Structure 1
């Protein structure tokens, strides 16, 4: 018995063009070994024939009306080894890989009350937009069972506040970090206008959301995967991404576009993306310097669409299949 098993392991392993993965998890079938030789050539090519010791030890052709299998498919021994050939981690139940009640998500409210970020076409600070949207995302995530979601509000001037929020996220030992922002444009694209008797600026040239990741994040691969899910959900909600970041006219603000379908860009220098010790993504939910899009971003309907998209992305990230296969 031991000698026979050793012979099986030492023989060369070949895999047919399709169907081999499912055989890893199937046991041998006695009926298949006795009956499939008399069936059609397509059925005769099944890798299950390789499980009979007689087929392993003998290289004589099977007697039938047609050849049972080509030499290429004759030695399909992978299934004979059984699931023990897989790494133990691959056999570990994946359902426990992401418990929504334990997944710690930090929702970073971009900018601060002292450093408000961009100013919209109608003179509303970006910080106001960021806070409203982040609160709604927090509410939806907690309602879906992600009870460890934390809203991160920081104080102070711009650069100092960036390091504060990174330190806070790291101290919380977050599993995911999502920074919420609303977009503007470089000054050279701004035009003057008046709104309610006050001077302001606008640019109706560009619109759309965008998602950013940093290659310098310690877990860039997971950051990118989460960013892809967010972009996919934004697109599924009927939103378009901001395409200007891939154009030379943006000058030093131009960024590498990683996925032209989902609007995911690479922005390696962003402190909140590269200094965090967990997967990190920054979402520019839309342009508030564009007069039409500002009105949409200010509406409950658009906040509902974006918050639902982010929530769906987190839920998909946490599905059991993610732990073993990654995003499809």
Structure 2
């Protein structure tokens, strides 16, 4: 972690993706996987052993929430989108739900002056409830305190210490300041942009298990679409300037954002979900509703189930 360098962010964009700053440090070496059994001498057996290790978390205490102290489209080979683990035990499959931003560094401000952190926390709690109800008892909510710059590395370190099987960071979207317009809500000046809407999913090639990260990202995008939701297309457009990102799949809304610290430095498959735009006045109202949180939670849960056991996609509950 001593080599991690956080690049400065322009003041005008401080509230936009401010909790997932870029890092100029080169990706470190991939962590060592669990040793394969002695008899797994062939490449095929070694691969099977690696997959089994991914689905088996380390011994842990009872499920708990974790709170930290302050401090153009690319064509993909379908075979690259298959989950690395063929099956898993849901009761032992450990998922870390990272609540984006902190109470002290709240992220973007919605069109009606509600902090992104509030939206992130409520949605992450609903996803946690849904996953646990579906048998994923090891699901953990990761809450970080303090200023964003000081808490960012801490949240990654906590996720790595938990030895999770999957890391999912929950956020809500805004836009660069150049797209913002002014309006007044309940007697207070605010800013909005109704130009863009939709969810988006991000992965980093710097993650030591990018292939598995992409597998889950594809499942998540597919399930969000199955809920009737549309992804945010603006990240692939030239008008986004330095915020433009490579679109990996134009069907599911999966983007590459290689410099995101929470994706690049976690030692497990990691995905960031921008659940929807809270700077868009119409979509903000939808994102604030229990119905929309249920839709997104159902999509996430379906993606996790299929990631854990691909047979879910065809047979449903077994």
Whether these two folds match at TM > 0.5 is yes
Corresponding position: 1:210 with 2:222:
no
Contact 2:204 2:264 in 1 (8 A): yes
Map of 1:247 onto structure 2? 237
**Higher RCO (Cα < 8 Å, 6 or more apart):** 2
2:271 equivalent among 274, 281, 288: 281
Aligned positions of 1:133-148 closer than 5 A: 133-148=123-138
**Does 1:125 pair with 2:87?**
no
Deviation at 1:159, TM superposition (A): 1.6
CA contact (8 A) 2:86 2:309 kept: no
What is the CA distance between 1:162 and its match in structure 2? 1.1
Misfit runs of 4+, over 2 Å: 85-97
Give matches, 1:95-134, under 5 Å.
97-134=87-124
Unpaired stretches in structure 2, ≥5 consecutive residues? 1-41, 53-84, 313-318
Contact 1:213-1:223 at 8 Å conserved across structures:
yes
2:306 is aligned to: 316
> How much has 1:87 moved relative to structure 2?
3.8
Matches within 5 A, 1:42-57: none
Confirm whether residue 296 of structure 1 aligns to residue 286 of structure 2: yes
State whether residues 98 and 320 of structure 1, in contact with CA within 8 Å, keep that contact through their aligned partners in structure 2: no
Partner residue in 2 for 1:164:
154
Q: Distance in 1 between matches of 2:168 and 2:45?
A: 32
Alpha-carbon contact 2:86-2:308 (below 8 Å) kept: no
In structure 2, relative to structure 1, the CA distance for the partners of 1:303 and 1:244 (3 Å cut) is same
Residue 320 (structure 1) shift: 5.6
TM-score normalised according to structure 2 size: 0.72
Structure 2 equivalent of residue 80 of structure 1 = none
Q: Does the C-alpha gap of structure 1 residues 254 and 320 become closer, same or farther in structure 2, counting only changes over 3 Å? A: closer
The aligned residue for residue 262 of structure 1 is 252
1:232-290 deviations in whole A, cap 9, x for unaligned? Answer: 00000110000000000000000000000000000001000001000000000000000
SS at match of 2:128: helix
Please report how far the alpha carbon of residue 215 of structure 1 lies from its aligned counterpart in structure 2 after TM superposition: 0.3
Please tell me whether the aligned partners of residues 245 and 256 of structure 2 are also in contact (alpha carbons under 8 angstroms): yes
Structure 2 residue aligned with 1:191, among 157, 181, 184?
Answer: 181
Aligned residue in 2 for 1:40: none
- The alignment status of 1:238 with 2:228, answered yes or no, reads yes
Q: Does 1:227 align with 2:241?
A: no
Structure 1: distance between partners of 2:170 and 2:45: 38
Please tell me the root mean square deviation across aligned C-alpha atoms, in Å.
2.1
Where 2:90 maps in the other structure, the secondary structure is: coil
- Paired position in structure 1 for 2:142: 152
Equivalent residues of 2:91, 2:137 under 8 A apart? yes
Cα deviation code 1:27-61 (max 9, x no counterpart): xxxxxxxxxxxxxxxxxxxxxxxxxxxxxxxxxxx
Structure 1 length normalisation: TM-score? Answer: 0.70
Task: Determine the structure 1 residue equivalent to 2:295.
Answer: 305
* Pairs aligned (count): 238
How many Å apart are 1:321 and its aligned residue? 5.4
For 2:44 and 2:208, the matched residues in 1 are separated by: 25
| Matched residue SS, 1:199 | strand
Distance 1:297 1:96 in 2: 34
Sort the Cα spacing of 1:320 and 1:295 in 2 relative to 1 into closer, same or farther, 3 A: closer
Q: Unpaired segments of 5 or more residues in structure 1? A: 1-84, 323-328
